[in-house]
Structure 1
Amino acid sequence: MLQQLFNDLIKQDVKPFLAKHGFAKKSLNFSKKTEGLIYIINFQKSSGNSADNVMFYVNCSIYAEELAQIQSKEILTAPQEVECHFRARIGEIAPGAPDRFAITPDTNREELGKTLLNRLDDVIHFYDEMTSARSIVDYYVSGPYLHLGEESFHLLLQSNDITKAKHYLNALQEKHGAENRWAIFENKYIAIFDKYGVDFKVT
Protein backbone atom coordinates (compact mmCIF):
# COMPACT_ATOMS: atom_id res chain seq x y z
CA MET A 1 0.00 0.00 0.00
CA LEU A 2 2.73 2.48 0.95
CA GLN A 3 4.76 1.50 -2.10
CA GLN A 4 1.71 2.36 -4.21
CA LEU A 5 1.52 5.74 -2.47
CA PHE A 6 5.14 6.35 -3.47
CA ASN A 7 4.38 5.31 -7.06
CA ASP A 8 1.37 7.64 -7.13
CA LEU A 9 3.47 10.47 -5.72
CA ILE A 10 5.96 10.12 -8.56
CA LYS A 11 3.34 9.68 -11.26
CA GLN A 12 0.71 12.18 -10.17
CA ASP A 13 2.80 14.91 -8.48
CA VAL A 14 6.46 14.77 -9.43
CA LYS A 15 6.22 13.80 -13.08
CA PRO A 16 3.79 16.55 -14.20
CA PHE A 17 5.60 19.16 -12.11
CA LEU A 18 9.03 18.37 -13.56
CA ALA A 19 7.60 17.93 -17.07
CA LYS A 20 6.47 21.56 -16.93
CA HIS A 21 10.12 22.48 -16.37
CA GLY A 22 11.39 20.41 -19.31
CA PHE A 23 12.39 17.21 -17.52
CA ALA A 24 11.84 13.82 -19.11
CA LYS A 25 11.23 10.72 -16.99
CA LYS A 26 13.01 7.39 -17.25
CA SER A 27 12.34 5.03 -14.37
CA LEU A 28 13.05 7.11 -11.23
CA ASN A 29 15.34 9.54 -13.07
CA PHE A 30 14.27 12.90 -14.46
CA SER A 31 16.64 14.73 -16.81
CA LYS A 32 16.78 17.91 -18.84
CA LYS A 33 19.40 18.73 -21.46
CA THR A 34 20.67 22.15 -22.41
CA GLU A 35 23.72 23.14 -24.42
CA GLY A 36 26.65 21.52 -22.65
CA LEU A 37 24.75 20.54 -19.49
CA ILE A 38 22.44 17.77 -18.34
CA TYR A 39 20.38 18.30 -15.19
CA ILE A 40 19.23 15.21 -13.28
CA ILE A 41 16.86 14.64 -10.38
CA ASN A 42 16.95 11.07 -9.11
CA PHE A 43 14.61 9.39 -6.63
CA GLN A 44 16.43 6.68 -4.70
CA LYS A 45 14.44 4.29 -2.54
CA SER A 46 16.08 3.22 0.70
CA SER A 47 17.32 -0.34 0.94
CA GLY A 48 15.76 -0.62 4.38
CA ASN A 49 12.15 -0.14 3.29
CA SER A 50 9.39 -2.28 4.75
CA ALA A 51 5.65 -2.71 4.41
CA ASP A 52 4.99 0.06 6.94
CA ASN A 53 7.86 2.44 6.16
CA VAL A 54 8.94 3.55 2.69
CA MET A 55 11.85 6.00 2.66
CA PHE A 56 13.45 7.72 -0.30
CA TYR A 57 16.20 10.18 -1.11
CA VAL A 58 16.20 12.89 -3.77
CA ASN A 59 19.57 13.24 -5.50
CA CYS A 60 20.34 16.32 -7.58
CA SER A 61 23.16 16.32 -10.12
CA ILE A 62 24.51 18.15 -13.16
CA TYR A 63 26.72 16.77 -15.90
CA ALA A 64 28.95 19.21 -17.82
CA GLU A 65 30.54 18.36 -21.16
CA GLU A 66 33.33 20.89 -20.60
CA LEU A 67 34.36 19.24 -17.34
CA ALA A 68 34.24 15.79 -18.94
CA GLN A 69 36.63 17.10 -21.60
CA ILE A 70 38.97 18.40 -18.91
CA GLN A 71 38.87 14.91 -17.38
CA SER A 72 39.68 13.45 -20.82
CA LYS A 73 36.56 11.34 -20.59
CA GLU A 74 34.08 10.34 -23.25
CA ILE A 75 31.16 12.76 -23.55
CA LEU A 76 28.05 11.03 -22.24
CA THR A 77 24.57 11.67 -23.62
CA ALA A 78 22.75 9.85 -20.82
CA PRO A 79 24.95 9.98 -17.70
CA GLN A 80 24.00 8.28 -14.47
CA GLU A 81 23.75 10.33 -11.31
CA VAL A 82 27.10 8.99 -10.09
CA GLU A 83 28.80 10.13 -13.31
CA CYS A 84 27.79 13.77 -12.90
CA HIS A 85 30.12 16.58 -11.88
CA PHE A 86 27.78 18.33 -9.46
CA ARG A 87 26.13 16.00 -6.95
CA ALA A 88 24.07 16.79 -3.86
CA ARG A 89 21.17 15.57 -1.78
CA ILE A 90 18.16 17.82 -2.05
CA GLY A 91 18.69 19.08 1.51
CA GLU A 92 22.01 20.66 0.52
CA ILE A 93 20.42 23.01 -2.01
CA ALA A 94 16.77 23.25 -0.93
CA PRO A 95 16.41 24.85 2.52
CA GLY A 96 14.10 22.90 4.78
CA ALA A 97 14.22 19.66 2.82
CA PRO A 98 14.83 16.55 4.94
CA ASP A 99 17.82 14.29 4.36
CA ARG A 100 15.31 11.67 3.33
CA PHE A 101 11.57 11.53 2.93
CA ALA A 102 9.48 8.89 4.68
CA ILE A 103 6.07 7.42 3.96
CA THR A 104 4.34 5.70 6.89
CA PRO A 105 0.75 4.66 7.59
CA ASP A 106 0.23 8.07 9.21
CA THR A 107 1.54 10.07 6.24
CA ASN A 108 -0.78 12.68 4.81
CA ARG A 109 -0.48 12.16 1.05
CA GLU A 110 -1.47 15.72 0.17
CA GLU A 111 0.92 17.33 2.65
CA LEU A 112 3.82 15.14 1.55
CA GLY A 113 3.19 15.99 -2.10
CA LYS A 114 3.04 19.71 -1.34
CA THR A 115 6.27 19.60 0.70
CA LEU A 116 8.11 17.63 -1.95
CA LEU A 117 7.03 19.90 -4.82
CA ASN A 118 7.98 23.01 -2.85
CA ARG A 119 11.48 21.63 -2.32
CA LEU A 120 11.72 20.54 -5.96
CA ASP A 121 10.80 24.10 -6.90
CA ASP A 122 13.82 25.24 -4.88
CA VAL A 123 15.96 22.80 -6.88
CA ILE A 124 14.63 24.22 -10.15
CA HIS A 125 15.57 27.75 -9.04
CA PHE A 126 19.03 26.50 -8.05
CA TYR A 127 19.45 24.81 -11.44
CA ASP A 128 18.41 28.05 -13.16
CA GLU A 129 21.51 29.65 -11.64
CA MET A 130 23.80 26.77 -12.66
CA THR A 131 24.11 27.57 -16.34
CA SER A 132 27.64 26.43 -17.21
CA ALA A 133 30.62 24.36 -16.15
CA ARG A 134 31.98 27.54 -14.55
CA SER A 135 28.86 27.72 -12.36
CA ILE A 136 29.62 24.25 -11.02
CA VAL A 137 33.25 25.18 -10.41
CA ASP A 138 32.24 28.40 -8.63
CA TYR A 139 29.98 26.38 -6.33
CA TYR A 140 32.79 24.08 -5.22
CA VAL A 141 35.34 26.90 -5.04
CA SER A 142 33.05 28.86 -2.72
CA GLY A 143 32.96 25.92 -0.27
CA PRO A 144 35.85 25.51 -0.51
CA TYR A 145 35.51 21.83 -1.40
CA LEU A 146 38.14 19.33 -2.49
CA HIS A 147 35.57 17.69 -4.75
CA LEU A 148 36.29 18.59 -8.38
CA GLY A 149 39.41 20.46 -7.25
CA GLU A 150 41.64 19.39 -10.13
CA GLU A 151 39.00 20.14 -12.73
CA SER A 152 38.29 23.49 -11.09
CA PHE A 153 41.93 24.55 -11.22
CA HIS A 154 42.16 23.49 -14.86
CA LEU A 155 39.09 25.51 -15.81
CA LEU A 156 40.15 28.59 -13.84
CA LEU A 157 43.69 28.60 -15.21
CA GLN A 158 42.52 27.88 -18.76
CA SER A 159 40.42 31.05 -18.57
CA ASN A 160 43.38 32.92 -17.02
CA ASP A 161 41.46 33.58 -13.82
CA ILE A 162 44.64 33.31 -11.76
CA THR A 163 43.29 35.46 -8.92
CA LYS A 164 40.39 33.11 -8.25
CA ALA A 165 42.62 30.04 -8.63
CA LYS A 166 45.00 31.43 -5.99
CA HIS A 167 42.10 32.34 -3.71
CA TYR A 168 40.74 28.80 -4.03
CA LEU A 169 44.17 27.31 -3.35
CA ASN A 170 44.64 29.47 -0.27
CA ALA A 171 41.19 28.51 1.06
CA LEU A 172 41.88 24.81 0.54
CA GLN A 173 45.25 25.10 2.27
CA GLU A 174 43.65 26.81 5.27
CA LYS A 175 40.93 24.17 5.47
CA HIS A 176 42.92 21.00 4.73
CA GLY A 177 46.61 21.94 4.96
CA ALA A 178 47.10 20.23 8.34
CA GLU A 179 45.70 16.92 7.11
CA ASN A 180 48.06 14.11 6.10
CA ARG A 181 46.25 13.69 2.79
CA TRP A 182 46.90 17.30 1.81
CA ALA A 183 50.32 16.39 0.37
CA ILE A 184 48.60 14.15 -2.19
CA PHE A 185 46.29 16.92 -3.36
CA GLU A 186 49.06 19.51 -3.25
CA ASN A 187 51.25 17.49 -5.63
CA LYS A 188 48.36 17.19 -8.08
CA TYR A 189 47.66 20.90 -7.89
CA ILE A 190 51.33 21.83 -8.34
CA ALA A 191 51.38 19.82 -11.59
CA ILE A 192 48.31 21.69 -12.84
CA PHE A 193 49.76 25.12 -12.02
CA ASP A 194 53.03 24.11 -13.71
CA LYS A 195 51.12 23.10 -16.83
CA TYR A 196 49.80 26.64 -17.19
CA GLY A 197 53.07 28.31 -16.15
CA VAL A 198 51.58 29.80 -13.00
CA ASP A 199 53.50 30.10 -9.72
CA PHE A 200 51.95 27.72 -7.21
CA LYS A 201 52.79 29.79 -4.16
CA VAL A 202 50.01 31.89 -2.69
CA THR A 203 51.03 35.53 -2.37
Structure 2
Amino acid sequence: MTTQNVLKQIVKETIAPLFKAAGFKKQGNNFAQVCSDFSATVNIQSSKWNTQDEAEFFFNTGIYIEELFGTVHLYPKSTFPMEIDSVLRIRGTELTKNDSWYSLTTDTNVEQLKRMIMKDITEYILPHLRQFESINDVIRVMELREKDGVYDNPHHLTVLYCSIGDLEKARARMARVYNELKLDSQKEFAIGLANRLGLRV
Protein backbone atom coordinates (compact mmCIF):
# COMPACT_ATOMS: atom_id res chain seq x y z
CA MET A 1 0.00 0.00 0.00
CA THR A 2 1.38 3.45 -0.93
CA THR A 3 1.86 6.10 1.76
CA GLN A 4 -0.87 8.15 0.05
CA ASN A 5 -3.33 5.31 0.60
CA VAL A 6 -2.19 4.88 4.19
CA LEU A 7 -2.77 8.61 4.73
CA LYS A 8 -6.29 8.32 3.29
CA GLN A 9 -6.91 5.43 5.64
CA ILE A 10 -5.66 7.44 8.66
CA VAL A 11 -7.96 10.33 7.69
CA LYS A 12 -10.94 8.00 7.30
CA GLU A 13 -10.42 5.79 10.36
CA THR A 14 -8.68 8.07 12.88
CA ILE A 15 -8.93 11.79 12.06
CA ALA A 16 -12.46 12.09 10.64
CA PRO A 17 -14.18 10.18 13.50
CA LEU A 18 -12.52 12.44 16.10
CA PHE A 19 -13.71 15.61 14.42
CA LYS A 20 -17.13 14.13 13.68
CA ALA A 21 -17.56 13.26 17.38
CA ALA A 22 -16.73 16.91 18.18
CA GLY A 23 -19.49 18.16 15.86
CA PHE A 24 -17.45 18.87 12.73
CA LYS A 25 -18.59 18.22 9.17
CA LYS A 26 -16.16 17.00 6.52
CA GLN A 27 -15.52 17.93 2.91
CA GLY A 28 -12.42 16.38 1.39
CA ASN A 29 -9.56 17.11 3.79
CA ASN A 30 -11.45 20.02 5.37
CA PHE A 31 -13.46 20.00 8.58
CA ALA A 32 -15.80 22.67 9.92
CA GLN A 33 -17.94 23.12 12.99
CA VAL A 34 -20.63 25.66 12.13
CA CYS A 35 -21.73 27.93 14.98
CA SER A 36 -24.20 30.83 14.82
CA ASP A 37 -21.63 33.64 14.35
CA PHE A 38 -18.63 31.78 12.93
CA SER A 39 -17.22 28.36 12.07
CA ALA A 40 -14.18 26.57 13.48
CA THR A 41 -12.16 25.16 10.57
CA VAL A 42 -9.41 22.58 10.16
CA ASN A 43 -7.54 21.59 7.02
CA ILE A 44 -5.12 18.71 6.47
CA GLN A 45 -2.29 20.07 4.34
CA SER A 46 -0.08 17.62 2.52
CA SER A 47 3.41 18.49 1.34
CA LYS A 48 3.68 19.15 -2.39
CA TRP A 49 6.80 16.97 -2.35
CA ASN A 50 4.91 13.83 -1.29
CA THR A 51 5.67 10.64 -3.21
CA GLN A 52 4.32 7.09 -3.19
CA ASP A 53 6.93 6.14 -0.59
CA GLU A 54 6.88 9.22 1.60
CA ALA A 55 4.11 11.57 2.72
CA GLU A 56 4.24 14.56 5.08
CA PHE A 57 1.24 16.48 6.35
CA PHE A 58 0.02 18.75 9.14
CA PHE A 59 -3.11 20.53 10.37
CA ASN A 60 -4.11 24.14 9.76
CA THR A 61 -6.79 25.74 11.96
CA GLY A 62 -8.86 28.89 11.55
CA ILE A 63 -12.05 30.75 12.37
CA TYR A 64 -14.33 31.38 9.39
CA ILE A 65 -16.56 34.48 9.54
CA GLU A 66 -19.21 35.20 6.88
CA GLU A 67 -19.10 38.99 7.44
CA LEU A 68 -15.73 39.07 5.68
CA PHE A 69 -17.42 38.19 2.39
CA GLY A 70 -18.65 41.21 0.48
CA THR A 71 -16.44 43.41 2.68
CA VAL A 72 -12.81 42.23 2.74
CA HIS A 73 -13.28 39.16 0.52
CA LEU A 74 -14.73 40.35 -2.79
CA TYR A 75 -15.36 36.89 -4.15
CA PRO A 76 -18.24 34.46 -3.55
CA LYS A 77 -18.09 32.44 -0.37
CA SER A 78 -17.71 28.69 -0.75
CA THR A 79 -20.54 26.36 0.18
CA PHE A 80 -18.33 24.89 2.92
CA PRO A 81 -16.39 27.01 5.48
CA MET A 82 -12.72 26.74 4.50
CA GLU A 83 -9.62 27.34 6.61
CA ILE A 84 -7.99 29.25 3.73
CA ASP A 85 -10.74 31.93 4.00
CA SER A 86 -10.50 32.12 7.80
CA VAL A 87 -9.00 34.51 10.34
CA LEU A 88 -6.68 33.33 13.12
CA ARG A 89 -5.11 30.83 10.77
CA ILE A 90 -2.79 28.87 13.03
CA ARG A 91 -0.78 25.78 12.14
CA GLY A 92 -1.22 22.75 14.33
CA THR A 93 2.56 22.74 14.83
CA GLU A 94 2.26 26.10 16.60
CA LEU A 95 -0.39 24.70 18.93
CA THR A 96 1.53 21.50 19.72
CA LYS A 97 4.87 23.39 20.02
CA ASN A 98 6.34 20.74 17.72
CA ASP A 99 7.69 22.02 14.41
CA SER A 100 7.81 18.57 12.82
CA TRP A 101 5.25 17.55 10.22
CA TYR A 102 3.61 14.15 10.51
CA SER A 103 5.68 11.82 8.36
CA LEU A 104 4.70 8.58 6.68
CA THR A 105 7.27 6.30 5.06
CA THR A 106 7.34 2.60 4.31
CA ASP A 107 9.03 2.14 7.72
CA THR A 108 6.59 4.21 9.79
CA ASN A 109 4.91 2.62 12.80
CA VAL A 110 1.38 3.60 11.70
CA GLU A 111 -0.29 2.79 15.04
CA GLN A 112 2.20 5.00 16.86
CA LEU A 113 1.60 7.82 14.36
CA LYS A 114 -2.17 7.48 14.84
CA ARG A 115 -1.77 7.78 18.62
CA MET A 116 0.31 10.95 18.18
CA ILE A 117 -2.30 12.48 15.84
CA MET A 118 -5.16 11.59 18.21
CA LYS A 119 -3.27 13.16 21.14
CA ASP A 120 -2.60 16.36 19.17
CA ILE A 121 -6.24 16.69 18.07
CA THR A 122 -7.73 16.02 21.51
CA GLU A 123 -5.17 17.90 23.64
CA TYR A 124 -4.26 20.84 21.42
CA ILE A 125 -6.38 21.43 18.32
CA LEU A 126 -9.90 20.91 19.70
CA PRO A 127 -9.21 22.77 23.00
CA HIS A 128 -7.78 25.68 20.98
CA LEU A 129 -10.92 25.90 18.83
CA ARG A 130 -13.29 25.39 21.78
CA GLN A 131 -12.07 28.59 23.44
CA PHE A 132 -14.05 30.55 20.85
CA GLU A 133 -17.66 30.85 21.97
CA SER A 134 -18.46 34.25 20.47
CA ILE A 135 -17.09 36.87 18.06
CA ASN A 136 -15.80 38.71 21.14
CA ASP A 137 -13.54 35.72 21.90
CA VAL A 138 -12.22 35.81 18.33
CA ILE A 139 -11.54 39.56 18.61
CA ARG A 140 -9.77 39.12 21.97
CA VAL A 141 -7.35 36.51 20.61
CA MET A 142 -6.73 38.46 17.40
CA GLU A 143 -5.92 41.58 19.45
CA LEU A 144 -3.54 39.60 21.68
CA ARG A 145 -1.73 38.09 18.70
CA GLU A 146 -1.42 41.51 17.08
CA LYS A 147 0.12 42.87 20.29
CA ASP A 148 2.61 39.99 20.10
CA GLY A 149 3.52 41.01 16.55
CA VAL A 150 1.54 38.27 14.76
CA TYR A 151 -0.41 40.11 12.07
CA ASP A 152 -3.51 39.05 10.19
CA ASN A 153 -5.10 41.10 7.43
CA PRO A 154 -5.38 44.55 9.10
CA HIS A 155 -9.00 44.95 7.94
CA HIS A 156 -10.34 41.78 9.57
CA LEU A 157 -10.63 43.33 13.03
CA THR A 158 -12.36 46.42 11.59
CA VAL A 159 -15.09 44.21 10.10
CA LEU A 160 -15.42 42.26 13.37
CA TYR A 161 -15.78 45.48 15.39
CA CYS A 162 -18.61 46.47 13.02
CA SER A 163 -20.22 43.04 13.39
CA ILE A 164 -20.55 43.49 17.16
CA GLY A 165 -21.74 47.10 16.77
CA ASP A 166 -18.58 48.77 18.10
CA LEU A 167 -18.48 51.43 15.38
CA GLU A 168 -16.25 53.76 17.39
CA LYS A 169 -13.50 51.16 17.57
CA ALA A 170 -14.07 50.27 13.90
CA ARG A 171 -13.71 53.91 12.80
CA ALA A 172 -10.57 54.46 14.87
CA ARG A 173 -8.96 51.30 13.49
CA MET A 174 -9.99 52.10 9.91
CA ALA A 175 -8.38 55.55 10.17
CA ARG A 176 -5.19 54.20 11.73
CA VAL A 177 -4.80 51.39 9.19
CA TYR A 178 -5.50 53.76 6.30
CA ASN A 179 -2.82 56.18 7.49
CA GLU A 180 -0.29 53.33 7.79
CA LEU A 181 -0.89 52.02 4.25
CA LYS A 182 1.83 52.82 1.74
CA LEU A 183 0.49 51.81 -1.68
CA ASP A 184 -2.22 53.73 -3.54
CA SER A 185 -3.95 50.45 -4.40
CA GLN A 186 -4.11 49.56 -0.69
CA LYS A 187 -5.52 52.98 0.16
CA GLU A 188 -8.15 52.65 -2.61
CA PHE A 189 -9.21 49.25 -1.23
CA ALA A 190 -9.44 50.71 2.30
CA ILE A 191 -11.67 53.56 1.08
CA GLY A 192 -13.92 51.04 -0.71
CA LEU A 193 -14.06 48.87 2.41
CA ALA A 194 -14.90 51.87 4.59
CA ASN A 195 -17.80 52.72 2.24
CA ARG A 196 -19.05 49.12 2.29
CA LEU A 197 -19.00 49.20 6.11
CA GLY A 198 -20.55 52.66 6.36
CA LEU A 199 -17.39 54.15 7.83
CA ARG A 200 -15.31 57.14 6.77
CA VAL A 201 -11.55 57.48 6.42
* Both proteins in one fold, TM over 0.5: yes
Mapped contact 1:58–1:89 kept (Cα < 8 A): yes
Quickly say closer, same or farther: Cα 1:25–1:196, change in 2 above 3 A.
closer
- Deviation (angstroms), 1:115: 0.9
Which structure 2 residues correspond to residues 177-192 of structure 1 after superposition, within 5 A? 183=182
Q: Which runs of 5+ in 2 are unaligned?
A: none
Residue in 2 that maps onto 1:3: 4
Aligned with 2:92 (options 90, 98, 107): 90
Aligned with 1:126 (options 125, 128, 138): 128
Aligned with 1:159 (options 150, 163, 166): 166
Question: RMSD in angstroms over aligned alpha carbons?
Answer: 3.5
Residue in 2 that maps onto 1:37: 38
Measure the CA separation in 1 of the matches of 2:135 and 2:64.
9
Measure the CA separation in 2 of the matches of 1:134 and 1:44.
28
Does residue 148 of the first structure (1) align with residue 149 of the second (2)? no
Deviations 1:62-114 (A, max 9, x none): 2112344653755654233322223221112x223444211112211111111
TM-score, structure 2 normalization: 0.73
Mapped contact 1:140–1:148 kept (Cα < 8 A): no
Secondary structure at the counterpart of residue 120 of structure 2: helix
Amino acid at match of 1:21: A
Measure the CA separation in 2 of the matches of 1:99 and 1:70.
36
Residue in 2 that maps onto 1:61: 62
Amino acid at match of 1:49: N
- Deviation (angstroms), 1:159: 1.4
Amino acid at match of 1:53: E
Residue in 2 that maps onto 1:177: none
Secondary structure at the counterpart of residue 96 of structure 2: coil
Deviations 1:167-202 (A, max 9, x none): xx7xx9xxxxxxxx86459968x976xx7689xxxx
Residue in 2 that maps onto 1:79: 81
Residue in 1 that maps onto 2:21: 20
Secondary structure at the counterpart of residue 119 of structure 2: helix
Secondary structure at the counterpart of residue 134 of structure 1: helix
Mapped contact 2:61–2:92 kept (Cα < 8 A): yes
Aligned with 1:137 (options 139, 145, 164): 139
- Deviation (angstroms), 1:135: 2.6
Q: Aligned residues, how many? A: 186
- Deviation (angstroms), 1:9: 0.9
